């Protein structure tokens, strides 16, 4: 991709080598509601390094967004509650920080891009104000400086005639332009990590690619970590380095992106890949994973995927599978590959 | 062991809830209302008030108009003489405050219900015509509505009522309907415009349904909900307005019994006989409260978005 | 913006004329002969009576009276009272008092109502919210005269903090209690409206964004939440200023404030058609001005609304 300016890398490179930028360890989140306790996240582990892109893949209700909101510190509590786990950011557990400390990380060190830019931008404030707010709050910039920086940012995300449009309101922009504004807002203070929650789902297909390319390009330029949350396998392939697949609040498979596409090691991943329409399948019936996503109030015993799995055994119905290190046929470990399936060998090699 | 597995891991299909019989908005709202304590309390209060209004003699055998000056307000209430003439004491003319509390319900209930019915029919009809036909019809109705809207309800009612030499419940109803109908027109107009654009109305038109049929069969049932909500809440307000007018001496007159009149005459003896003010005032407040609570409950039941 | 204001002003003219016409005919419908009332029970000298009627413009047809009245109105002439005072002078005396009273009540309901509504909305379902809902419901249910007497009794007679009636109608300190009584009903509505609006908006996506941006809570609420939530409240407040001035009649009576309500009350009792319609015309003007301000404020608060 594009070459990153060296100055930016130097500034970001204060991390102890080997320590990931963000390391989520055994995170558990539940929601207490009138209908009972919904276990949304049940022991999630993942990490992201500077300059790396992690794609988190899953259906709605898989806990991918809840995990992201917990990292960001914007989960509604109550009803949400973190029951166990650590979120290490640059070696410090964010869950143990004061509210004020966390607030200062939000926006400046970790920024988030939301799915629906129209509802996520404040309808009654100009985009220039909303962009400039980042500089005014975190850097104490004056109104004038903030506006100038807002125009600069809009230029950077390639919004035409930025100087003329800085006082416009969100509803006056097209969907793609609005999402660019969301990206600009996230980039404003050159954060270490960006979490993008379904950033292109609400957009037209043609615009999706543009926005995704822009995001990837800027990420490389600033050498940021990126967590890309999506349910769309197509979006992931070009931009991600590694993938974590989530199901019912757990990670069921992690792998470098091309390995996962080539040889999935979990029946759920396999099903997801099979359900992508392909041109060479023209005329055939499209595959769909049977059944419905699990009810989080009553997660099935054993592997949560077992009622929908084609190869489930008795073991799958009683014992929750651990996240196994995946090996090749000779028993050599495959780097970065893990699968939470009792039958990973059969799935991978069979 | 296999048995256990069967039970703990049911097939996904069987966990789905049984499909319920589809219900209309009306019966859905009614189903919902019966479970609300606020609705039950306010409905019970209103039933009681209506009973007072229809058959006050069931609750007291004392004539509320018979005054005995020896029994004026200085003779204190006997709070243990339940349902007796002197339960809540006597007013300045020696009339039983308790009996007047009971008999006063009639004027309030009649004014409240009749004004609400009047403004709903009149205002609703105007609103429906304006919303349905649009164009110049809408423009004319909307401008007339604006003209009336600029006149404060209380002031306008004062002016209208002053034109009557003798004022009865019906003059008050007339004045409040004449000035209050515009509120319903606005609500109904907005509601009809929304409903008019929906597909089932277009479909009915395409099928060649007549104007009246479309208006009353298709639009009215779907547009009426906000009107009912506003009307129920407004009912309490009309009762309060009647009492205020009577309090000012421009509403009801003797021999009609109104809590507003009693509040007015009690204000002169506020220091010596606060109970003379307290009981009619309390009765009036409870009545208004009951209708407002009912309106709140109906709104919550009819408008699922607000939950 | 300028065109929008001009358009709205033009639209107001027919509304204003219509309202004035309705008021004119309503007040002239008042029965009884105002001229005869001047002389009480004594039989009036026919010559004197005719002269009086002529001076008041009552000796022509009602249609002619209407035309004369409208003509005078546009020259700023509101007519004379039966005793020969200029109605405009009576209004000039009473209006400043009621404007003060209504503005005090307005500020009270705005500050306290929005404040309570904001706190309740942010604490939806908690004790403070529930208490607010119950108390505002009670406040809405208690009719103004009753509330007036309760306040008068508690603060003036029992606690003796103030005098039961207002001695100097232009004294803001003395007007404080009547203003609270006058504003309390609207306060309850403002509080409830604000609460609902806040509770709805607090869950919105842009609030989540504001928090994710790392804004301090004060800014999240002050800039992002409050501004969006005030839109429905502003609509209510706009129509309320006129209603407060009209509704002052009861409060002014209880606390003996010499304002519009008081003057109007006496004018109605004395069959002073010109005075009554003069006051109502002024109140309608206040209402129209307030609704124009609301429209403008609305467009400022919500850029999605076009000045069209």
For B219, residues 6+ apart whose C-beta sits below 8 A from its C-beta are B128, B132, B192, B195, B196, B201
**Burial bucket for residue C94 (CB in 10 Å: 0-12, 13-18, 19+):** buried
Minimal C-alpha gap between B159 and chain C (Å): 6
Minimal C-alpha gap between A271 and chain B (Å): 18
Minimal C-alpha gap between C28 and chain A (Å): 49
Please give the pLDDT value at position C42: 57
| CB of B279 closer than 8 Å to CB of B97 | yes
Minimal C-alpha gap between C112 and chain B (Å): 22
| CB of C104 closer than 8 Å to CB of C172 | yes
Mean pLDDT, residues C182-188 = 91
The residue of chain C with its CA nearest to that of B158 is: C268
The 10s digit of each residue's pLDDT in B268-291 is 777 777 777 888 888 999 999 998
Nearest to A301 among B9, B12, B15 (CB): B9
Check B292 against C140: CB less than 8 A apart.
yes
The 10s digit of each residue's pLDDT in B10-41 is 333 333 344 445 556 667 777 777 777 888 88
Please give the pLDDT value at position C159: 79
For A330, residues 6+ apart whose C-beta sits below 8 A from its C-beta are none
Most confident of A107-111, B59-63, B158-162: A107-111
Please give the pLDDT value at position A8: 45
| CB of A195 closer than 8 Å to CB of A72 | yes
Q: Worst-scoring range by mean pLDDT, A6-20, A71-85, A158-172, B142-156?
A: A6-20
Check B247 against C250: CB less than 8 A apart.
yes
Q: Is A125 on the interface with C (CB under 8 A)?
A: yes
**pLDDT category, B115, cuts 50, 70, 90?**
very high
Q: Worst-scoring range by mean pLDDT, A165-179, B55-69, C29-43, C59-73?
A: C29-43
Q: Worst-scoring range by mean pLDDT, A285-289, B81-85, B298-302?
A: B81-85
Instruction: Please state, in angstroms and rounded to a whole number, the distance separating the CA atoms of residues A252 and A338.
Output: 8
Instruction: Please state, in angstroms and rounded to a whole number, the distance separating the CA atoms of residues A57 and A244.
Output: 6
Instruction: Please state, in angstroms and rounded to a whole number, the distance separating the CA atoms of residues A217 and B135.
Output: 54
For C96, residues 6+ apart whose C-beta sits below 8 A from its C-beta are C170
| H-helix segments, B93-219 | 97-133, 135-149, 153-162, 169-196, 199-206, 211-213
Between A123 and B62, the higher pLDDT residue: A123
Minimal C-alpha gap between A137 and chain C (Å): 7
Instruction: Please state, in angstroms and rounded to a whole number, the distance separating the CA atoms of residues A41 and A82.
Output: 9
Please give the pLDDT value at position A7: 42
Instruction: Please state, in angstroms and rounded to a whole number, the distance separating the CA atoms of residues C221 and A212.
Output: 32
Mean pLDDT, residues C143-147 = 85
Q: What does the mean pLDDT of chain C come to?
A: 83
Please give the pLDDT value at position B35: 77
Minimal C-alpha gap between A193 and chain B (Å): 37
Q: Is B163 on the interface with A (CB under 8 A)?
A: no
Instruction: Please state, in angstroms and rounded to a whole number, the distance separating the CA atoms of residues A97 and C234.
Output: 40
Q: Tell me the whole-structure pTM to 2 decimals.
A: 0.80
For B53, residues 6+ apart whose C-beta sits below 8 A from its C-beta are B105, B106, B108, B109, B110
Check A300 against B15: CB less than 8 A apart.
no
Minimal C-alpha gap between C10 and chain A (Å): 28
**Burial bucket for residue A262 (CB in 10 Å: 0-12, 13-18, 19+):** exposed
Check C304 against A104: CB less than 8 A apart.
no
Please give the pLDDT value at position B73: 60
Check C303 against A137: CB less than 8 A apart.
no
Check C143 against B284: CB less than 8 A apart.
yes
Mean pLDDT, residues A35-49 = 87
In this predicted structure, the answer to whether residue B176 has a pLDDT above a threshold of 90 is yes
**pLDDT category, B94, cuts 50, 70, 90?**
confident
**pLDDT category, A333, cuts 50, 70, 90?**
confident
Partners of residue C211 in chain A, C-beta under 8 Å: 73-74, 106
Check C287 against B152: CB less than 8 A apart.
yes
Please give the pLDDT value at position A234: 75
Please give the pLDDT value at position A215: 86
Mean pLDDT, residues A298-316 = 86
State what percent of residues in chain B have pLDDT above 70. 86
Nearest to A306 among B9, B13, B15 (CB): B9
The 10s digit of each residue's pLDDT in A195-228 is 998 888 777 878 888 888 888 888 888 889 999 9
Among residues B251, B178, B188, the alpha carbon closest in space to that of B221 is found at: B188
Place of tokens 């003489």: B81
Question: Which runs of E-coded beta strand occur in chain A?
Answer: 22-33, 36-48, 53-57, 80-89, 92-93, 110-113, 193-197, 225-230, 242-247, 250-256, 324-327, 333-339
Q: What is the DSSP letter of A332?
A: P
Q: Is A136 on the interface with C (CB under 8 A)?
A: no
Chain C (3-32) residues lying within 8 Å, Cβ to Cβ, of chain B: 14-16, 18-19, 22-23, 26-27, 29-32
Please give the pLDDT value at position B226: 83
Please give the pLDDT value at position C115: 94
Bridge partner list, A194:
A111, A226
Please give the pLDDT value at position C111: 94
User: In chain B, what are the domain boundaries?
Assistant: 106-257+291-306
Check A103 against C208: CB less than 8 A apart.
no
Cα-only R_g, chain C: 24
Please give the pLDDT value at position B19: 44
The 10s digit of each residue's pLDDT in A61-112 is 888 889 999 999 888 877 888 888 889 898 888 888 888 888 988 988 999 9
Q: Worst-scoring range by mean pLDDT, B146-150, B301-305, C15-19?
A: B301-305
Task: Give the distance, in angstroms, between the CA of residue B262 and the centroid of all CA atoms in the same chain.
Answer: 22
Task: Return the CATH number of A4-240, one of 3.40.50.2300, 1.10.40.30, 1.10.3720.10, 3.40.50.300.
Answer: 3.40.50.300
Mean pLDDT, residues C57-69 = 79
The 10s digit of each residue's pLDDT in A9-33 is 444 445 555 578 899 989 999 888 8
Check C227 against A121: CB less than 8 A apart.
no
Mean pLDDT, residues A249-260 = 89
Please give the pLDDT value at position B114: 95
Check B5 against A295: CB less than 8 A apart.
no
Q: Is B8 on the interface with A (CB under 8 A)?
A: yes
CATH number corresponding to B106-257+291-306 = 1.10.3720.10
State what percent of residues in chain A have pLDDT above 90. 18
Instruction: Please state, in angstroms and rounded to a whole number, the distance separating the CA atoms of residues B138 and B111.
Output: 30
Partners of residue B9 in chain A, C-beta under 8 Å: 300-302, 306-307, 317
Chain B (94-153) residues lying within 8 Å, Cβ to Cβ, of chain C: 143-144, 146-148, 150-153
Pairing of strands A53-57, A225-230: parallel
Could you give phi then psi for residue A284, rounded to 5 degrees?
-85, 160
Please give the pLDDT value at position B23: 58
Partners of residue A178 in chain C, C-beta under 8 Å: none
Q: Is C221 on the interface with B (CB under 8 A)?
A: no
Check B5 against A308: CB less than 8 A apart.
no
Fold of domain C87-306:
MetI-like fold (1.10.3720)
**pLDDT category, C104, cuts 50, 70, 90?**
very high
User: In chain A, what are the domain boundaries?
Assistant: 4-240, 245-349
The 10s digit of each residue's pLDDT in C259-278 is 888 888 888 778 777 788 88
What tokens were used for A172? 């006056």
């Amino acid at each position: 991709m594009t070459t990153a300016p060296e100055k930016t890398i130097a500034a970001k490179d204060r991390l102890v080598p080997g320590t990931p930028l963000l390391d989520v360890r055994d995170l558990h989140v539940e929601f207490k509601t009138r209908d009972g306790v919904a276990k949304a996240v049940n022991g999630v582990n993942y990490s992201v390094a500077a300059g790396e892109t992690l794609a988190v893949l899953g259906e709605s209700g898989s806990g991918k967004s809840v995990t992201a909101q917990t990292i960001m510190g914007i989960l509604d509590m109550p009803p949400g509650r973190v029951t166990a786990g650590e979120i290490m950011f640059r070696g410090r557990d964010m869950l143990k920080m004061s509210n004020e400390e966390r607030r200062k990380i939000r926006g400046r060190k970790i920024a988030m891009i939301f799915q629906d830019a129209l509802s996520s931008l404040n309808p009654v404030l100009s985009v220039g104000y909303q962009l400039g707010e980042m500089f005014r709050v975190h850097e104490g910039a004056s109104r004038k400086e903030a506006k100038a920086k807002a125009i600069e940012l809009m230029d950077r995300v390639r919004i035409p005639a930025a100087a003329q449009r800085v006082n416009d309101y969100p509803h006056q922009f097209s969907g793609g332009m609005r999402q660019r504004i969301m990206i600009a807002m996230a980039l404003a203070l050159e954060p270490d990590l960006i979490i993008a929650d379904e950033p292109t789902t609400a957009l037209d297909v043609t615009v999706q690619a543009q926005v995704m390319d822009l995001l990837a390009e800027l990420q490389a330029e600033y050498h940021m970590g990126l967590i890309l949350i999506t349910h769309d396998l197509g979006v992931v392939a070009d931009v991600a380095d590694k993938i974590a697949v989530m199901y019912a609040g757990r990670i069921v498979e992690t792998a470098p992106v091309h390995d996962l596409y080539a040889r999935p090691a979990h029946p759920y991943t396999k099903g997801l890949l099979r359900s992508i329409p392909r041109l060479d399948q023209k005329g055939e019936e499209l595959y769909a994973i049977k059944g419905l996503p699990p009810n989080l109030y009553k997660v099935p015993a054993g592997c949560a995927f077992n009622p929908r799995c084609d190869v489930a055994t008795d073991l799958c119905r009683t014992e929750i599978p651990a996240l196994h290190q995946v090996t090749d046929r000779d028993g050599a470990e495959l780097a970065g590959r893990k699968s939470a399936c009792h039958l990973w060998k059969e799935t991978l090699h069979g | 062991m296999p048995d256990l597995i069967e039970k703990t891991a049911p097939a996904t299909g069987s966990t789905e809830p049984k499909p319920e019989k589809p219900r209309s908005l009306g019966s859905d709202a009614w189903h919902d209302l019966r479970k609300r304590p606020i609705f039950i309390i306010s409905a019970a209060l209103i039933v009681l008030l209506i009973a007072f209004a229809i058959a006050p003699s069931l609750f007291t055998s004392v004539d509320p108009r018979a005054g005995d000056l020896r029994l004026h307000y200085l003779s204190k209430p006997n709070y243990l003489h339940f349902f007796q003439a002197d339960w809540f004491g006597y007013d300045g003319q020696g009339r039983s405050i308790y009996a007047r509390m009971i008999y006063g319900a009639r004027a309030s209930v009649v004014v409240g219900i009749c004004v609400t019915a009047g403004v709903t029919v009149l205002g609703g009809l105007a609103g429906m015509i304006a919303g349905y036909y649009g164009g110049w019809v809408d423009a004319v109705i909307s401008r007339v509505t604006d003209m009336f809207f600029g006149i404060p309800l209380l002031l306008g009612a004062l002016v209208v009522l002053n034109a009557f030499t003798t004022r009865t419940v019906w003059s008050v109803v007339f004045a409040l309907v004449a000035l209050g109908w515009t509120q319903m027109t606005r609500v109904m107009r907005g509601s009809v415009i929304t409903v008019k654009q929906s597909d089932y109305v277009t479909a009915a038109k395409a099928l060649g349904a007549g104007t009246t049929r479309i208006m009353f069969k298709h639009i009215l049932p779907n547009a009426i909900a906000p009107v009912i909500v506003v009307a129920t809440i407004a009912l309490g307000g009309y009762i309060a307005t009647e009492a205020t007018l009577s309090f000012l001496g421009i509403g009801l007159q003797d021999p009609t019994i109104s809590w507003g009149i009693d509040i007015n005459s009690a204000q002169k003896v506020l220091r010596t006989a606060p109970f003379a003010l307290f009981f009619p005032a309390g009765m009036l407040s409870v009545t208004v409260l009951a209708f407002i609570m009912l309106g709140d409950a109906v709104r919550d039941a009819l408008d699922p978005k607000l939950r | 913006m300028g065109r929008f204001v001009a358009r709205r002003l033009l639209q107001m003219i027919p509304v204003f004329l219509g309202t004035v016409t309705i008021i004119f005919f309503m007040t002239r419908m008042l029965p009884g002969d105002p001229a005869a009332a001047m002389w009480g029970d004594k039989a009036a000298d026919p010559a004197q009576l005719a002269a009086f009627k002529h001076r008041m413009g009552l000796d022509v047809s009602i249609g002619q009276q209407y035309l004369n009245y409208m003509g005078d109105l546009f020259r700023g002439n509101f007519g004379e009272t039966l005793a020969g005072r200029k109605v405009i002078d009576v209004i000039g005396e009473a209006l400043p008092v009621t404007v003060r009273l209504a503005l005090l009540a307005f500020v009270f309901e705005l500050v306290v109502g929005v404040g309570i509504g904001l706190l309740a909305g942010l604490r939806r379902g908690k004790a403070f919210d529930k208490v607010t809902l119950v108390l505002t419901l009670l406040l809405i249910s208690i009719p103004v005269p009753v509330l007036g007497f309760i306040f008068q009794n508690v603060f003036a007679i029992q606690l003796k903090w103030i005098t039961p009636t207002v001695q100097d109608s232009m004294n803001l300190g003395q007007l404080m209690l009547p203003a609270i009584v006058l504003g309390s009903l609207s306060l309850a509505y403002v509080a409830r409206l604000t609460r609902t609006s806040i509770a709805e908006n607090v869950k919105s996506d842009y609030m989540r964004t504001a928090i994710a941006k790392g804004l301090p809570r004060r800014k999240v609420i002050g800039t992002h939440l409050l501004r969006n939530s005030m839109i429905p409240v502003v609509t209510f407040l706009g129509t309320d200023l006129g209603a407060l001035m009209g509704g002052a009649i009861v409060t002014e009576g209880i606390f003996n404030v010499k304002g519009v309500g008081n003057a109007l009350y006496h004018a109605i009792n004395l069959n002073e058609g010109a005075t009554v319609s003069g006051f109502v015309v002024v109140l309608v003007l206040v209402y129209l001005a307030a609704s124009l301000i609301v429209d403008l404020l609305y467009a400022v608060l919500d850029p999605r609304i076009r000045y069209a």
